[in-house]
């Protein structure tokens, strides 16, 4: 049977560091606010742990052994490193910060908010770079596993429960058609007129049930799907060059809809909350806190 080795008392490193610096039990005791007898017991434990006397009497004082001299710089470095680990983080120096942050978001975020965000980082922290990656679903596993620093999106059932989150802005869905489309010339778009057109379904998994279809069904209406795409940008590209109708979030697609005709949906639609998500391990990181603030301000 293998008996596990007892873990050393790491507090002894601090004691050894002070003893080697003072070369006096009495002075080391005063520096560490201990009694001389307690310091003598600590020295005895150190001698037992290292198998070396460490400090031996020479006249009226103590001198280090060769082993103690060998350990002196190493012990001092270990103590300084440990103190640095346990010390609060130093004030963030944005001018010296060098880091790459990965942000996961759906299309529309970069086009609408990325320009202001990148411009601010270039002014305040030129050593910081942003890497934008697509968000094809609401699975926040990449955030949990550390592949992503921040995620922008709507909190859903697939969101890992322990994630931190903060609302960025409210958004609502609107209808979008090309200029010259029959609906672009109508001031009063009724649910029946809306449903009568050919629509673009936006889905990551093919045909799926949508809130819009439920709202129309409650009015006794059903819309026809002319195409199925996986992104807002693809839906708008199709609508721009055809008579298809796209239904997209208003604020998120602001720049993507330039030159197109947008209109309010002719039935009640609840708003959605677009949130900023991050993992708890990054909650107290000064650079990450600063980035979160930049994203919030860029989103207005």
Q: pLDDT tens for residues 266-290?
A: 987 778 889 999 988 888 889 999 9
Give the residue-averaged pLDDT of 43-51.
Answer: 90
Give the residue-averaged pLDDT of 69-81.
Answer: 86
Could you report the per-residue pLDDT of 178-190, keeping only the tens digit for each? 999 999 988 889 9
User: Does residue 291 carry a pLDDT above 50?
Assistant: yes
**What residue spans in the chain does CATH classification 1.10.10.10 cover?**
11-86
What is the overall mean pLDDT for the chain? 87
CATH superfamily of 173-270: Periplasmic binding protein-like II (3.40.190.10)
Q: Which CATH code, of 3.30.300.30, 3.40.190.10, 3.40.1160.10, 3.90.79.10, is assigned to 95-170+273-298? A: 3.40.190.10
What pLDDT is stored for residue 4 in this prediction?
52
Alpha-carbon gap, residue 48 to 209, rounded angstroms: 72
Q: Are 298 and 113 in contact (CB under 8 A)?
A: yes
pTM here is 0.66
Alpha-carbon gap, residue 222 to 191, rounded angstroms: 10
Give the residue-averaged pLDDT of 55-59.
Answer: 87
Q: Phi and psi of 167, rounded to 5°?
A: -65, 135
Alpha-carbon gap, residue 37 to 29, rounded angstroms: 9
pLDDT tier for residue 194 given thresholds of 50, 70 and 90: very high
What pLDDT is stored for residue 219 in this prediction?
92
Q: Phi and psi of 193, rounded to 5°?
A: -65, -40
Q: Which fold has domain 11-86?
A: Arc Repressor Mutant, subunit A (1.10.10)
pLDDT tier for residue 87 given thresholds of 50, 70 and 90: low
Could you report the per-residue pLDDT of 144-192, keeping only the tens digit for each? 888 899 999 887 655 656 788 899 999 999 999 999 999 998 888 999 9
- High-pLDDT (> 90) share of the chain, %: 47
pLDDT tier for residue 208 given thresholds of 50, 70 and 90: very low
**What residue spans in the chain does CATH classification 3.40.190.10 cover?**
95-170+273-298, 173-270
What pLDDT is stored for residue 2 in this prediction?
53
């Amino acid at each position: 049977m293998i008996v596990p080795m007892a873990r050393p008392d790491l507090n002894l490193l601090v004691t050894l560091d002070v003893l080697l610096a003072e070369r006096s039990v009495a002075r080391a005791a005063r520096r560490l606010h201990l009694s001389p007898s307690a310091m003598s017991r600590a020295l005895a434990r150190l001698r037992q742990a290292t198998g070396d006397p460490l400090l031996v009497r020479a006249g009226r004082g103590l001198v280090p052994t060769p082993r103690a001299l060998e350990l002196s710089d190493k012990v001092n470095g270990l103590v300084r490193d440990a103190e640095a680990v346990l010390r609060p983080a130093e004030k963030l120096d944005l001018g010296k910060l060098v880091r790459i942050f990965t942000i996961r978001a759906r299309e529309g975020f970069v086009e609408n908010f990325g320009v202001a965000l990148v411009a601010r980082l270039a002014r305040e922290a030129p050593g910081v770079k942003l890497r934008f990656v697509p968000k094809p679903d609401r699975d926040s596993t990449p955030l949990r596993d550390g592949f992503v620093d921040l995620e922008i999106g709507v909190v859903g059932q697939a969101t890992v429960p322990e994630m931190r989150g903060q609302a960025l802005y409210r958004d609502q869905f609107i209808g979008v058609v090309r200029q010259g489309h029959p609906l672009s010339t109508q001031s009063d778009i009724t649910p029946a007129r809306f449903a009568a057109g050919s629509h673009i379904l936006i889905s990551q998994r093919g045909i799926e049930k949508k809130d819009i279809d439920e709202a129309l069904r409650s009015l006794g209406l059903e819309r026809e799907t002319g195409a199925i795409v996986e992104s807002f940008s693809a839906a708008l590209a199709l609508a721009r060059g055809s008579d298809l109708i796209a239904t997209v979030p208003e604020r998120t697609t602001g720049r993507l809809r330039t030159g197109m005709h947008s209109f309010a949906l002719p039935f009640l639609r609840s708003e959605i909350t677009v949130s900023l998500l991050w993992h708890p391990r990054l909650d107290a990181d000064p650079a990450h806190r600063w980035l979160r603030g930049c994203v919030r301000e860029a989103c207005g």
